[in-house]
């Protein structure tokens, strides 16, 4: 299991060494990505059978070791992360070369370290290990966000780092220490570890510390780092917003809710978070509606979709929690396609605003078709993966009698249709403005990557067995 | 035992405060060192004065006497005096070097020169 | 009677005799070699003593066979052995580093004098840690301080002289305050042996002279350890001294002063009625919190890398004194562990800054743009050590923060825990100023394109310390384990 984390970390060495041979360097990345995915996949059958392999490394504090263990949610996250690394590596190769970006070696090296950190988060056995790799992820993605090195990148990097480090240091660390003092352990054990040591208001306070401390989950008001990170090149945005960073955030929060607080905890503790997540869904969707810059619209869409996961997990019914796990996967493949498409549009046509996208579907049919499929997934329509996760979340809300949540979900769906479908409409059903230089599709690696991820979205609908099994295993008693 | 019979402590306190005042209030570097010396002298007095026991004789063993003055404070203070002299010597050496580099031993003038230096390097 | 029985005084005597030896034989290579051998020998002795203390308990050695409490006693217990290891280990790493650094920063005819002063300083610091006599402690304190004043004055720029003079004045006042405190204790109890003082203080009826003594000792030692607001001497001293001196002092000088404070607070005064009544702990707590926040804030606005690290040191010392003022095992463990953690971190940072000074001629942030390309290993090292300063998990600094937050929460002091984490966020700000300058800025056009790293003899010791920052963040059995043992030992009180 450790290999899954070690391979990407070690991949940095050949990547850095092959600085002068770009093709070999890219090959090293792809090889590492495939190897990591293979190793992760090999753990799958064991986990589905009920095994929970565990490895402990250093005993950092008495009773709080640096340890790794595989459980269903982590397995799902790891599969998504390592699988999508392959796809985004292919895409990055196309994007960086087409746009003539500098410092490509640093890019690929930091990408590898970021993936290693993500897998560390996925396989963390206790809160301490999670915290270590969570911080490592922030630090590893900073050079990626500030890749361009200009003033804009510096400013964006400062907001990114500032919000994430402040939230994790000020809220998450005390939350972890408080958990340690209350329960004497930091392990993610089945069931719950907070068993009556702390009462209603205190528990809600502890949850608040966790929820705000995990800034990567982009709960309002600590969401500013996401739009600020848009200064990064698009493959980085794709990685951040679909695969690694935000997913690490909601994954950590769901893990905390499921394992630290437990599915049997009092609904009152989590009720306020349902409201906050619901507010974030609506508010972020409204801002997305008003945004003209495509990446900005997608960023706020991400913030809203993340709160779907948070809200679903807080509903505490088995179906809802399973739905939140599924949505981590569904949103990942959907969003990465949307960002890939945005990057392809920028590379091929140099357009960044939604208002400029009239008729682009005629010139870039593959790209926009993939975009359309991914948009369907985010809205939650068949035949895409998004329907699966939305179905589970809604039935979970229905089961628990959470009518407000259902209302929020419905509104959110309508709003996401409102900000995504017009783009598809513009692209295919409007004429391009006159006098535009002709252009075709983006370079083939980029198109191949985004078709692959769109294909994943659809295939998750038709072959949902693995994600479903893992999600069900998460909520099984 | 009246307040007046503790006159050694009064002198100690006076020297202590006077020394500290000279150190902080003087602008001249050598005067600061002098103040430091006065301050250290008060400490010598603090140790030695209580060492003399009333009715005690010099600490030489003899059958005729029962009460001896305490010789240990003298030993300690000899050490302290040596340390004080070393400090004074080092301080004066530094002041000589400062005079060579800055051309002055007034604190305000030195600070001004430093400030000008810092501004020039900006 | 083998030499192993006399290890305790040898710990001090060995570096002490090397100093005049170096002065007599002036040849430069010889001076460096003797100083390095003395440091390594001290480390070996410290390790042996630490192992013996771990196995047998507190060791006691009577100088000249005069039994305590009439004679001077050398006492090695859990806390002293920890600090002996720290001081000698830092010295052992700094000496190989010093060779090229001193050549670059000092005029040739003064170099052997530097090594002589270094040996005296090492002897003094080791002596403070190992002695069991209060006045002997003063003597060693002044030995180390005087040699420190000289070493600082050897800096290249003339501001070093002013810094040294200011440190001399403040340090001597501090030492004298300490002597006043010890004098008052002697008057009340008639003894100077620390263990004996502890026993006799329990029987003293009048509390006021004891309070006065404790106050004088606190202020005196506070001047030495740069407790806010007695920290004014530290930033100029660390910024203008030769790089080797900054690296050595930042890692050891203030830590040994903290040791003296711990010794008096817990071993000597622990049992007596003095601690209840006067809020020493509360005052120390307040000053620590102020130090942590204001010093970090000031560090953010500095233009010079070494001044920034110096102010950062003041803030980090605030962490240590915070842990002491919390008074429970967790807080004290955090404080004692931070002696080691911060020593290692700051030692690495100042060593790397010295490398920058060697290659670039300056350490102003405006002149360090694009350093990531020109000096990749140095920059990476500074970033890693900076992460330990911030307290990123998996570094040594994090273990300190962990125990301090636990200690604060155990006493129910939520605001204190909040201040601890807030100052970590401030540390991010000033470390990131370096990151932005080194990695995200283009080098200035007219700058000499020297794409070289400092020589290996400077880079390797620095990187050993950087690696230690990360290693001791994960494998904490030594720094935290020994700190916890020392904390429990101290809180149990004197025998």
CA C338 to chain centre: 10
Is there a domain that residue A10 lies in?
yes
Q: Chain-wide mean pLDDT for chain A?
A: 80
* Chains contacting C (3 or more CB pairs within 8 Å): A, B
Please report the residues numbered 53 through 92 in chain A whose beta carbons come closer than 8 angstroms to any beta carbon of chain C. 57-61, 66
CB C459 within 8 A of CB C355: yes
Q: Which of B59-63, C190-194, C337-341 bottoms out in mean pLDDT, i.e. has the lowest?
A: B59-63
Q: Which domain holds residue A163?
A: 1-248
Half-sphere exposure of A162 (CA within 13 A, CB side): 13
Partner-chain residue, chosen from C390, C405, C428, that has the shortest CB–CB distance to A177: C405
Residues C398, A62: Cα–Cα separation, whole Å: 15
Q: CB under 8 Å to A279, separation ≥6 — which residues? A: A220
Both A171 and A314 in one domain: the answer is no
Half-sphere exposure of A386 (CA within 13 A, CB side): 23
| Segment A356-408, tens digit of pLDDT | 777 777 777 888 888 888 888 888 887 777 888 888 888 888 887 778 888 88
pLDDT at residue A352 in the model = 78
Please report the residues numbered 161 through 200 in chain C whose beta carbons come closer than 8 angstroms to any beta carbon of chain B. 161-162, 164-165, 168-169, 172-173, 175-176, 179-180, 183, 186-187
pTM reported for the whole predicted model: 0.89
C25 contacts chain A (CB < 8 A) = no
Burial class for A349, CB neighbours closer than 10 Å (0-12, 13-18, 19+) = buried
Residues C336, C255: Cα–Cα separation, whole Å: 9
CA distance readout (Å), C393 to A62, C84, C343, C389, C427: 15, 27, 18, 11, 14
Q: Cβ separation of B23 and C173 shorter than 8 Å?
A: yes
Burial class for C223, CB neighbours closer than 10 Å (0-12, 13-18, 19+) = buried
Percent of chain A with pLDDT over 90: 0
Residue of B nearest to C71 (CA): B72
Residues A335, A250: Cα–Cα separation, whole Å: 15
| Segment A199-232, tens digit of pLDDT | 666 777 778 888 888 888 777 788 888 888 888 8
Whether A and B touch (3+ CB pairs < 8 Å), yes or no: no
Cα angle A359, A362, A363; round to 5: 100
Partner-chain residue, chosen from B39, B73, B94, that has the shortest CB–CB distance to C168: B94
Indicate if the pLDDT at residue A196 is higher than 60. Answer: no
For residues A345 and B122, which has the higher predicted lDDT (pLDDT)?
A345
Question: pLDDT tier at A17 (50, 70, 90 boundaries)?
Answer: low
Token reading at A340: 């890939």
Is there a domain that residue A290 lies in?
yes
Partner-chain residue, chosen from C390, C428, C476, that has the shortest CB–CB distance to A61: C476
B1 contacts chain C (CB < 8 A) = no
Q: Cβ separation of C303 and B117 shorter than 8 Å?
A: no
Partner-chain residue, chosen from C165, C179, C364, that has the shortest CB–CB distance to B94: C165
Q: Chain-wide mean pLDDT for chain C?
A: 87
Token reading at C443: 């080098």
B29 contacts chain C (CB < 8 A) = yes
**Total domains present in chain A:** 2
Structure letter (DSSP) for residue A55: E
Partner-chain residue, chosen from C138, C139, C161, that has the shortest CB–CB distance to B98: C161
Nearest to C478 by CA among C89, C44, C33, C22: C89
Question: pLDDT tier at B47 (50, 70, 90 boundaries)?
Answer: very high
User: If you average pLDDT over each of A457-461, B58-62, C229-233, which comes out highest?
Assistant: C229-233
Q: Cβ separation of B36 and C172 shorter than 8 Å?
A: yes
A-C C-beta contacts closer than 8 Å? 71
Q: Cβ separation of B114 and C159 shorter than 8 Å?
A: yes
Question: pLDDT tier at C448 (50, 70, 90 boundaries)?
Answer: low
Partner-chain residue, chosen from B47, B83, B98, that has the shortest CB–CB distance to C165: B98
Please report the residues numbered 134 through 153 in chain A whose beta carbons come closer than 8 angstroms to any beta carbon of chain C. 135-136, 139, 143, 146, 149, 153
For residues A13 and C383, which has the higher predicted lDDT (pLDDT)?
C383
Q: Which of C2-6, C192-196, C197-201, C251-255 bottoms out in mean pLDDT, i.e. has the lowest?
A: C2-6
Three-class HEC string of chain C:
CCHHHHHHHHHHHHHHHHHHHHHHCCCHHHHHHHHHHHHHHHHHHHHHHHHHHHHHCCEEEEHHHCCCCCCCEEEECHHHHHHHHHHHHHHHHHHHHHHHHHHHHCCHHHHHHHHHHHHHHHHHHHHHHHECEHHHHHHHHHHHHHHHHHHHHCCCCCHHHHHHHHHHHHHHHHHHHHHHHHHHHHHHHCCCEHHHHHHHHCCCCCCHHHHHHHHHHHHHHHHHCCCCCCCCCHHHHHHHCCHHHHHHHHHHHHHHHHHHHHHHHHHHCCCCCCCCCCCHHHHHHHHHHHHHHHHHHHHHCCCEHHHHHHHHHHHHHHHHHHHHHHCCHHHHHHHHHHHHHHHHHHHHHHHHHHHHHHHHCCCEHHHCCCHHHHCHHHHHHHHHHHHHHHCCCCCHHHHHHHHHHHHHHHCCCHHHHHHHHHHHHHHHHHHHHHHHHHHCCCCCCCCCCCCCCCCHHHHHHHHHHHHHHHHHHHCCCCHHHHHHHHHHHHHHCCC
Residue of A nearest to C441 (CA): A149
pLDDT at residue C143 in the model = 95
Residue of A nearest to C476 (CA): A60
Indicate if the pLDDT at residue A180 is higher than 70. Answer: yes
Indicate if the pLDDT at residue A254 is higher than 80. Answer: yes
CATH architecture of B4-121: Orthogonal Bundle (1.10)
- Domain ranges for chain C, please list them: 1-278, 280-495
Is there a domain that residue A366 lies in?
yes
Is there a domain that residue A255 lies in?
no
Is there a domain that residue A216 lies in?
yes
Contacts of A169 in chain C (CB under 8 A): 391, 421, 424-425, 428
Q: Which of A391-400, B26-35, C291-300 bottoms out in mean pLDDT, i.e. has the lowest?
A: A391-400
Q: CB under 8 Å to A257, separation ≥6 — which residues? A: A207, A270, A313, A314
Residues C48, C46: Cα–Cα separation, whole Å: 5
Mean pLDDT of A189-193: 58
Token reading at A321: 């929690």
Nearest to A161 by CA among C435, C297, C484: C435
Contacts of C412 in chain A (CB under 8 A): none
Both A241 and A274 in one domain: the answer is no
Both A217 and A316 in one domain: the answer is no
| Segment C240-265, tens digit of pLDDT | 999 899 999 999 999 999 999 999 98
Question: pLDDT tier at A19 (50, 70, 90 boundaries)?
Answer: low
B98 contacts chain C (CB < 8 A) = yes
Please report the residues numbered 363 through 382 in chain C whose beta carbons come closer than 8 angstroms to any beta carbon of chain A. none
Please report the ipTM that was assigned to this predicted complex: 0.94
For helices C134-153 and C111-130, angle between their N-to-C axes, nearest 10 degrees: 160
Is there a domain that residue A93 lies in?
yes
* Most C CBs within 10 Å, among B74, B77, B80, B105, to test the C interface: B80
C212 contacts chain B (CB < 8 A) = no
* Most C CBs within 10 Å, among B42, B83, B92, to test the C interface: B83
Please report the residues numbered 255 through 274 in chain C whose beta carbons come closer than 8 angstroms to any beta carbon of chain B. none
The residue assigned the tokens 């949850």 is A207
Both A240 and A349 in one domain: the answer is no
pLDDT at residue A191 in the model = 52
C150 contacts chain B (CB < 8 A) = yes
| Segment C323-338, tens digit of pLDDT | 988 888 888 899 999 9
Token reading at A20: 């002068």
| Segment C154-182, tens digit of pLDDT | 988 889 999 999 999 999 999 999 999 99
Both A207 and A353 in one domain: the answer is no
For residues A452 and A135, which has the higher predicted lDDT (pLDDT)?
A135
Question: Which residues sit opposite C74 in a β-bridge?
Answer: C61, C131
Question: pLDDT tier at A265 (50, 70, 90 boundaries)?
Answer: low
Structure letter (DSSP) for residue B68: B
Is there a domain that residue A186 lies in?
yes
């Amino acid at each position: 299991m450790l290999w899954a984390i070690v391979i990407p970390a070690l991949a940095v060495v050949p990547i850095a060494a092959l600085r002068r041979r770009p093709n070999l360097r890219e090959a090293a990345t792809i090889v590492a990505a495939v190897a990591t995915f293979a190793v992760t996949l090999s753990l799958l059958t064991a986990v589905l059978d009920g095994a929970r392999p565990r490895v402990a490394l250093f005993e950092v504090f008495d009773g709080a070791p640096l340890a790794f263990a595989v459980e269903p949610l982590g397995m799902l996250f790891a599969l998504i992360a390592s699988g999508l690394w392959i796809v985004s590596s292919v895409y990055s190769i196309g994007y960086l070369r087409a746009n003539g970006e500098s410092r490509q070696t640093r890019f690929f090296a930091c990408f590898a370290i970021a993936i290693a950190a993500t897998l560390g988060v996925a396989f963390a056995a206790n809160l301490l290990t999670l915290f270590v790799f969570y911080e490592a992820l922030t630090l590893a993605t900073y050079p990626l966000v500030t890749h361009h090195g200009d003033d804009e990148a510096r400013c964006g990097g400062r907001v990114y780092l500032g919000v994430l480090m402040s939230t994790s240091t000020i809220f998450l660390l005390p939350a972890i220490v408080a958990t340690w003092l209350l329960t004497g352990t930091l392990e993610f054990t089945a069931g719950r570890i907070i068993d009556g040591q702390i009462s209603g208001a205190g528990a809600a306070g502890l949850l608040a510390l966790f929820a705000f401390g995990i800034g990567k989950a982009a709960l309002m008001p600590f969401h500013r780092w996401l739009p600020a990170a848009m200064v990064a090149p698009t493959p980085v945005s794709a990685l951040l917003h679909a695969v690694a960073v935000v997913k690490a955030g909601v994954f950590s929060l769901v893990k905390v809710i499921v394992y630290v607080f437990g599915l049997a905890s009092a609904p009152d503790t989590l009720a306020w978070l349902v409201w906050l997540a619901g507010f974030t869904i609506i508010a972020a969707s409204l801002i997305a509606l008003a945004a003209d810059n495509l990446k900005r619209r997608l960023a706020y869409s991400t913030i809203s979709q993340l709160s779907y996961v948070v809200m679903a997990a807080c509903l505490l019914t088995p179906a809802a929690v399973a739905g939140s796990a599924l949505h981590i996967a569904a949103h990942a493949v959907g969003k990465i396609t949307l960002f890939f498409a945005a990057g392809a549009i920028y590379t091929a046509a140099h357009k960044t605003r939604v208002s400029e996208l009239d008729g682009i579907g005629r010139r870039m049919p593959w790209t926009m078709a993939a975009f359309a499929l991914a948009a369907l997934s985010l809205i939650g329509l068949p035949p895409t993966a998004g329907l699966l996760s939305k179905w589970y979340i809604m039935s979970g809300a229905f089961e628990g009698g959470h009518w407000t949540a259902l209302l929020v979900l419905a509104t959110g769906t309508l709003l996401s249709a409102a900000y995504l479908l017009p783009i598809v409409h513009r692209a295919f059903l409007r004429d391009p403005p006159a006098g535009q230089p002709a252009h075709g599709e983006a370079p083939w690696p980029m198109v191949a990557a985004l078709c692959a991820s769109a294909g994943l979205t659809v295939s998750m609908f038709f072959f949902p067995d693995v994600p479903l099994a893992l999600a069900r295993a998460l909520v099984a008693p | 035992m009246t307040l007046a019979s503790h006159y050694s402590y009064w002198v100690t306190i006076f020297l202590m405060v006077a020394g500290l005042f000279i150190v902080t209030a003087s602008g001249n570097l050598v005067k600061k060192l002098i103040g430091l010396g006065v301050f250290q002298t008060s400490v010598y007095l603090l140790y030695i004065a209580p060492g003399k026991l009333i009715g005690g004789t010099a600490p030489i063993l003899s059958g005729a006497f029962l009460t001896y003055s305490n010789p240990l404070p003298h030993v300690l203070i000899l050490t302290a005096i040596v340390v004080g002299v070393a400090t004074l010597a080092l301080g004066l050496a530094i002041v000589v070097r400062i005079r060579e580099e800055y051309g002055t031993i007034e604190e305000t003038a030195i600070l001004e020169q430093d400030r000008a230096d810092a501004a020039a390097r900006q | 009677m083998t030499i192993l029985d006399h290890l305790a005084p040898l710990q001090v005597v060995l570096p002490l005799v090397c100093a005049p030896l170096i002065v007599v034989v002036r040849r430069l290579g010889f001076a460096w070699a003797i100083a390095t051998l003395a440091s390594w020998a001290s480390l070996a002795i410290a390790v042996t003593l630490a192992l013996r203390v771990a196995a047998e308990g507190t060791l006691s050695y009577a100088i000249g066979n005069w039994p305590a409490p009439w004679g001077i006693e050398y006492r090695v217990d859990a806390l002293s052995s920890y600090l002996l290891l720290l001081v000698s280990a830092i010295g052992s790493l700094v000496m190989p580093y010093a060779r090229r650094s001193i050549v670059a920063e000092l005029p040739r005819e003064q170099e052997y004098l530097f090594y002589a002063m270094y040996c005296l300083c090492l002897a003094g610091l080791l002596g403070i840690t190992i002695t069991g006599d209060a006045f002997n402690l003063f003597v060693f304190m002044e030995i180390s301080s005087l040699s420190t004043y000289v070493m600082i004055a050897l800096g290249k720029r003339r501001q070093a002289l002013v810094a040294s003079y200011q440190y001399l004045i403040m340090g001597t006042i501090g030492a004298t305050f300490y002597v006043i405190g010890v004098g008052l204790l002697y008057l009340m109890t008639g003894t100077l042996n620390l263990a004996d003082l502890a026993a006799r203080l329990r029987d003293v009826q009048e509390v006021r002279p004891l309070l006065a003594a404790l106050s004088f000792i606190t202020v005196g030692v506070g001047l030495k350890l740069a407790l806010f607001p007695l920290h004014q001497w530290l930033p100029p001293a660390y910024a203008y001294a030769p790089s080797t001196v900054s690296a050595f002092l930042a890692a050891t000088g203030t830590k040994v002063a903290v040791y003296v404070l711990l010794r008096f607070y817990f071993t000597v005064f622990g049992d007596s009625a003095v601690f209840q009544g006067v809020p020493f702990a509360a005052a120390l707590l307040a000053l620590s919190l102020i130090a942590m926040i204001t010093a970090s804030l000031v560090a953010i606005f500095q233009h010079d890398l070494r001044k920034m690290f110096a102010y950062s040191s003041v803030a980090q010392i605030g962490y240590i004194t915070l842990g002491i003022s919390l008074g429970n095992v967790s807080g004290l463990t955090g404080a004692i562990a931070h002696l080691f953690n911060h020593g290692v971190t700051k030692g690495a940072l100042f060593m790397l800054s010295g490398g920058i000074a060697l290659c670039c001629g300056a350490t102003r942030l405006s002149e360090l743009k694009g350093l990531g390309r020109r000096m990749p290993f140095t920059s990476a090292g500074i970033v890693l050590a900076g992460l330990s300063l911030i307290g990123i998990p998996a570094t040594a600094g994090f273990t300190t923060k962990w125990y301090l937050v636990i200690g604060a929460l155990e006493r129910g002091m939520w605001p204190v825990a909040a201040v601890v984490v807030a100052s970590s966020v401030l540390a991010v700000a000033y470390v990131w100023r370096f990151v932005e300058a080194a990695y995200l800025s283009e080098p200035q056009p007219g700058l000499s394109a020297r794409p070289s790293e400092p020589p290996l003899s400077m880079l390797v010791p620095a990187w050993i310390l950087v690696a230690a920052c990360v290693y001791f963040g994960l494998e904490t059995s030594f720094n935290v384990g020994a700190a916890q043992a020392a904390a429990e030992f101290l809180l149990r009180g004197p025998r």
